[in-house]
Structures are given as structure tokens and as C-alpha cells.
Structure 1
Amino acid sequence: MANGVERESGLMVFSDEELREMSGVKKDGEYIEVTCGCTSHRYGDAVGRLRVFSNGDLEITCECTPGCNEDKLTPAAFEKHSGRETARKWKNNVWVIVNGEKVPLSKTVLLKYYNQALKNGNGSHRSHNGQVCHCDEFVLCTSCNEERRSRLRTKEECLIRHNALADKNWKCSDLPYDK
């Protein structure tokens, strides 16, 4: 057990201590389920069941009314479904009950494995306009001991950077756009 988390056959499990004071906790082999909700000033509380899966996915089954059939909602979709006026801040607006108090998801351990960056673009690096982009990275010069930025916007620039990382005697003068 490391950092209060057990890993059994690839599945994450929160420790009993982390989940002790949360309301409606159910453990399954694939996920942890807790009672959650979102408050709208106009409609009041919409209650649901939040499932936190071992891969970090979050899924909410809405229980706002007996006839509600909303199932497998993302937290953002649940926030919108509940009629929240200031949607798009689901980490602060969707809550779980801890010690009888409504606590935003952002202040709980339930988001420990959640990573939105991996959810956007299915692992590809896409900017807001849909264009593929790379982050700039740095290469250390062996002669002046300075880190130099290598641009990663084209395949050629990526190749230059990979070659620079492979070259143990790489120097600033080897960068074609710094000459």
C-alpha cells in the first residue's frame, strides 16, 4: 500500500480512511461509487451517483427525479442537466457529502486519478483550434552548459531535437535556426 492506495491486478482502490466520511460509498472491482450532487439556485439539489473508475474516468448516474433516465453523464453534463446557472466549473459545483457537509470534488481525493489532458484528443496533442501542436522542449549544450529551446512544430524540427538528444556532444551551434 503506497500513499493510501492499493493496486490489485491493475485496479485502483481508495483506502478506507480516505472514503470513511463520504456518504453512500460502494466499492466494486472496477470503480468506487459515492453519492454526489449539484445545486441549482432555481431548482435546488440534483442528486446522483458518481463512479470513479480505475482508469480515472468519471461517470454520474442522475437520480434527480424518480423518472430521470440520465445515465453515464460526465460531471460537466451532470452540472448542465442539474440546471446550474454557472456551468463549466464542475470540479467546484459537483459535490459529495463528507461529514454531513457538501464538499466540492476539487477538495476530495476522488479526482486523484482524473486527468482531463488524457481525455481531450485521445492522447494526441491538439490545441483549441484543432491543430496538432507540440510543446517546446529544451536541449542542454555541452560547450556552454546552457539549455536551448528546440522548436517542435514540424517533423523536421522534431527530428533535429531527437538527434540532439542522441548526440552526447551537442552544441548550440548545431541548431540550424540559431546560426
Structure 2
Amino acid sequence: MPLVMPVILGSVRAERQGLRVARFLIARLEARGIEAPLVDPAALGLPLLDRMYKEYAPGTAPPALEDLAALYRRSDAFVVVSAEYNHSIPPALSNTLAYFLEEYFWRPSAICCYSAGQYGGVRAAMQLRAMMAELGASSIPSLLPIPRVGKTLDAEGGIQEDWLAKAAGRFLDELVWYAEALRAKRDGGTPS
């Protein structure tokens, strides 16, 4: 059974560069035989969080949340693609992530951050590590920061700088290792 790893995009801006990153990662994951659906907060159109998914009576959550919950329950890992807004996590990403809790449990996450500048969004990544751990999907040790994203990837997610292929390969190798290990442990049961 192939691994399932949703790629959760963090930005909803009209000129967002994160789509380049998401397309790049989805192509790399799919080349490995991994199902990698895009979770795009702009397409979901979720309102600011008022109630978590689990706080709705069964069958009464908005359809976008029901679909997302079903996807997350069959997922083996999560890839989070984040820009850095004011040295922090984009609000749309925080809102999208916060709708769920148990659906993340016992699954690893991997953080790919990016920026137009030279630091690649790492300040947001540090905050995301804490958030993902609290949600139950602790991040793998490696990060994939992509500096100067507009020069590093083209609009379709094609590599423009050679270093990225090797860095992404190591990053995804690590994520797959954790995803396979935790899936095997989940199949045997989880702590209650």
C-alpha cells in the first residue's frame, strides 16, 4: 500500500510563491510512488477557526472539513510548506492546521520553508516545529529551507538551482523512513 503524504500549503496570497514549492514537492513524492494531494487553504475557503472538526456532531461539519478529515485519517505523514510572515507562520496555515488534532496523531511531519530572501523562512519553521509537535505530528529533524524561491524554482516547480535536488532527496528519504516506521507501529496499536 503506497504512502499518503498530503502537502499542506500555507499561503493564500494572490502572488504566492508557495505553489512553486508545493508543485516541486508533489512531483518528487509522486516520483517515489507516494500519493501527495495538495491541501490548499485558498481552495478550502475555511473561515477563521470557531470550532475544531471534532467539535461538530457527526456528519454536520462543512464538506471541506469532512473531506480533509478523511484524507488525514488515511495519511502516513504531512508535508508542511510555509512562507515566513513577520518572522512567523502565515495565518492561513495556522488556521488550516488548527482544525484537527487526533487526525495528526502518530504521524510525522516535514517542514519545507521558503522566502524571497536568503534565509529560506527558517524562523517560521522553528515555530512550526513546536506547533506540529503539539498537534501530535512531530517534525522530522531535517528541514528543507528554500531561499530566493523565485530564482530557485520556476512557476511549475521546476528546479533552477542544482543544490535543491540533492537536499530535497535527503529530506524526503528521512521523511519516508519516519513515515514507514510510524505506520508499522500504528498498525500494531498506539498508546492510549
With normalisation by structure 2, the TM-score equals 0.21
Structure with larger Rg: 1
With normalisation by structure 1, the TM-score equals 0.22
Higher relative contact order (CA closer than 8 Å, sequence separation 6+): 2
Task: Name the one with the larger helix percent.
Answer: 2
Task: Name the one with the larger strand percent.
Answer: 1
